[in-house]
Amino acid sequence: MNKKWECYEVDNKKVKELVDQYGINELLARILVNKNITNKNDMSIFMNPTRKDFHDPFLMPDMEIAINRLLKAIENNQKIIIYGDYDADGITSTTVLKLFLEERGMDVSTYIPNRLNEGYGLNKGAIKKIYDDGFRLMVTVDCGISGIEEVEYANSLGIEMIITDHHEPAESLPNAIAVVDAKRKDNEYPFNQLAGVGVVFKVIQALSMRLGLDEKEYLKYLDIVCIGTISDIVPLVDENRVIAKLGLKLVAQTRNIGLRALIEIIGFKNIDSSSVSFGIAPRINACGRMGNEKLALDLFLCKDKDEVTKLAVKLNEYNIERQSIEKQMYDEAAEIIDENEKDKACIIVGKEGWHHGIIGIVSSKITEMYFKPSILICFEGNEGKGSGRSIPGFDLHEALMNCKQYLKKFGGHAMAVGVTVDKSEFGKFKSELEEYAKSCNVDKIVPIINVDSELSLKDINVEAVKSLSLLEPYGEANKMPLFLFRNLKINSIRSLSEGKHLKLSLKDENFMVDAIGFNMGELSEKYLLDDKVDVVGNLDINSYGGNETVQIVLKDIRKSY
């Protein structure tokens, strides 16, 4: 598929100023200028944040009210229940608040809804059970902002509610005693992109300040807060970057024996944002997807060294099972698509027996593979539940609004949705949505690769590439830099791993560089020795055989013109 490469307009004057003023190399200076980080204070916060860079938690809406109520609960030894979510953000949020409050002497219980039976957020059945178990004070984490009816129900039972959340509120807020969410319209907090666990971190920071505790009493949880923040794919800028940068240092030496056991069983050598995103987060999320949401929470709360090893093994097993089901579903969906759907503007397929805890991941992979919006439905009897993912430039939620008459319910946003549809209405829904996508000229949307800078091979060396590590941790809104190299001659080319990957040696005048293209092995037949190519990719250090050399990790390649 042809992709459009868009390169930043580099301000060479500012780049030179940074190089001259701060003694950094030109490669790093180019990226900082692109990010508009050009003064000493901004550079310091971005590359070397400290605990002094956290904002005042009491600027957050209703924080004062929430803290006063929690202080009253601590003083009166009132038992409390935390209502969380089954994903990595919700599990880490629940962990942090429970551990902190228990250290203050409180009797704290937790409730995590079952993804397959209860779904996301507050539900009246759970609230009734919580009431019957004798709880009269509940704190939500990573959920609750949309639970207007459920909070009213809790109020009618005499349960006081404190909502802590990071999702978008509706026009009206739940009638809780406090609603701590920086996305409220009346928010004055300087950063509104915290994950759910980030909001919980601000709560324990505020409690620590009011209780006169040492900073370490809340900072020590940054390892768990960091895991939830990176897992939830929130923008790693501002306070999220401080959490991630400081937190990753703690993850590497974590005192949470559950987290340590999980890291050991995965076998990580280096702890960075990729380790969290592709190693830790999937294993936590696999528990919720497979309907055993409490397992990950038990791991983080466990104090028994033998037990945590068993729990970490179980998390790993759930992830392997999830991967197996995901692969089977993907293969089945791809077969249906290749037979009947690949020419459609929007891919909508359904099948009996698919696992609706995993279907969102598969939809995401289908959209990535075909670069088309996709909705996958799993049918159980006469009802279908599904998830959809979109591409930049097509609002999938708006598309569903256009054919909502065929849906029982739906929700989400421009890039990701969830739907419930009667089997009898599926055909009409599918046709209507396909026509709508066609009318929006989805097939004309071209994937864009945003390139940070165009370089020549003489611009790069091991020392300069190593300096880019100051930009880590990478994540949403702080992607690993991409570079463009033009008119390179192919000096050698072959496929690796039984044709799966592409290995190249590229030359520009007297300079040579190796390049690797993961899952690009089929291109070894398309290009020949001495072909001239343009490539886009990340820069990496290859330490094979004890020698350090620069290599390009390819994202795209095309013939030079």
CB atoms within 10 A of CB 60: 26
Max mean pLDDT among 340-349, 408-417, 486-495 falls in 486-495
**Single pTM value for the model:** 0.91
Residues 134 and 224 in one domain: yes
Q: How many domains does the chain have?
A: 4
Residues 514 and 479 in one domain: yes
- Rounded to an integer, the average pLDDT of 550-561 is 95
CATH no. for residue 212? Answer: 3.90.1640.30
Establish if 523 belongs to a structural domain: yes
CA dihedral sign, ordered 36, 40, 46, 52: negative
Q: Of 404, 426, 444, which marks where a domain is finished?
A: 444
> pLDDT by residue (tens digit) across 256-306?
999 999 999 999 888 999 999 999 999 999 999 998 989 999 999 999 999
Residues 234 and 378 in one domain: no
Is residue 192 within 8 A of residue 180, CB to CB? The reply is no
Q: Tell me the average pLDDT of the chain.
A: 94
> pLDDT by residue (tens digit) across 321-377?
999 999 999 999 999 999 988 889 999 999 999 998 899 999 999 999 999 999 999
Is residue 46 within 8 A of residue 39, CB to CB? The reply is no
> pLDDT by residue (tens digit) across 169-192?
988 999 999 999 999 999 999 999
pLDDT of residue 412: 80
Establish if 547 belongs to a structural domain: yes
Sequence-ordered alpha helix ranges (H) in 290-358: 294-301, 305-336
Residues 26 and 68 in one domain: no
Q: What does the alpha-carbon distance between residue 176 and residue 137 come to, in Å, rounded to a whole number?
A: 11
Residues 148 and 68 in one domain: yes
Phi and psi based region of residue 116 (left: phi greater than 0; alpha: psi -120 to 50; beta: remaining):
alpha
Residues 513 and 436 in one domain: no
Q: Of 444, 474, 496, which marks where a domain is finished?
A: 444
- Rounded to an integer, the average pLDDT of 512-523 is 94
Which 3 state secondary structure label does DSSP give 148? helix
For residue 38, which amino acid is it? T
Q: Which pairing describes strands 416-422 and 383-389: parallel, antiparallel, or unpaired? A: antiparallel
Residue range(s) defining the domain that contains residue 396? 342-444
Establish if 222 belongs to a structural domain: yes
Establish if 532 belongs to a structural domain: yes
Nearest to 121 by CA among 97, 86, 156: 86
Establish if 4 belongs to a structural domain: no
Establish if 85 belongs to a structural domain: yes
Residues 309 and 403 in one domain: no
Residues 470 and 415 in one domain: no
Cα→Cα distances 310→262, 269, 299, 322, 505, Å: 10, 21, 9, 18, 46
Q: What does the alpha-carbon distance between residue 343 and residue 337 come to, in Å, rounded to a whole number?
A: 9
Residues 178 and 225 in one domain: yes
pLDDT of residue 414: 86
Residues 523 and 401 in one domain: no
Q: Of 444, 465, 491, which marks where a domain is finished?
A: 444
Instruction: Report whether pLDDT(312) > 80.
Output: yes
Residues 43 and 62 in one domain: no
pLDDT of residue 509: 86
- Rounded to an integer, the average pLDDT of 440-450 is 92
Establish if 319 belongs to a structural domain: no
Give residue 461's pLDDT band: very low, low, confident or very high (50, 70, 90): very high
The pLDDT > 70 percentage for the chain reads 100
Establish if 98 belongs to a structural domain: yes
pLDDT of residue 372: 94
Residues 507 and 380 in one domain: no
